[in-house]
Amino acid sequence: MKSIPKLIACFVTCFGAGAIGGVFTAMSVNTAWYAQLIKPELSPPGWVFAPVWNFLYLLMAISLYLVWVSDKTTDKRTAVSVFACQLLLNVAWSAAFFGLRSPAGAFFVILLLLAAIIATIYAFSRISAKSALLLTPYLAWVCFAGYLNYYLWILNR
């Protein structure tokens, strides 16, 4: 392990973003607003989301760490900046969907988030192939979340 403090900082950053998003989620999940939404057929049960997101934040933290401690210096600052942008969009989705109760607004945020994740994977791949690969489950899940979000928006207009 190259740097325990850097690893801890990566975990705090990623899980901290998850915790902030979780505040918005907690504000609405147990309310009548969320309960009355018509959900798409492929919606997983509610209990699935927390373990999946925890796993994804774990992968994100490890991916960020691998880039941070890499010996390659080319484009590292840019890669970390793109990562930070996608992490902010991740939180913004929770704020739009649960905080503002806007499936439409959240759908547009998720489109930006998908672009930012792809940009992060590309930027990370130039520094560490492993770090980029670790982000692919995140991309897959957000694609699925985009499907869910789109149909929540359409079904509940």
Residue with tokens 């489109």: 111
- List Cβ neighbours of 26 (8 Å cut-off, separation of 6 or more): none
Name the fold adopted by 4-155.
Ferritin (1.20.1260)
Per the CB < 8 A criterion, the answer to whether 138 and 93 are in contact is: no
- Domain segments of the chain as ranges: 4-155
Report the C-alpha gap between 80 and 77 in whole angstroms. 5
Report which residue type is found at 6: K
Task: State the angle between helix axes of 76-94 and 103-125 in degrees (0 to 180), rounded to the nearest 10.
Answer: 160
Tens of each residue's pLDDT in the chain, 157 residues:
679 999 999 999 999 999 999 998 887 776 788 889 999 999 999 899 999 999 999 999 999 999 999 998 889 999 999 999 999 999 999 999 999 999 999 999 999 999 999 999 999 999 999 999 999 999 999 999 999 999 999 999 9
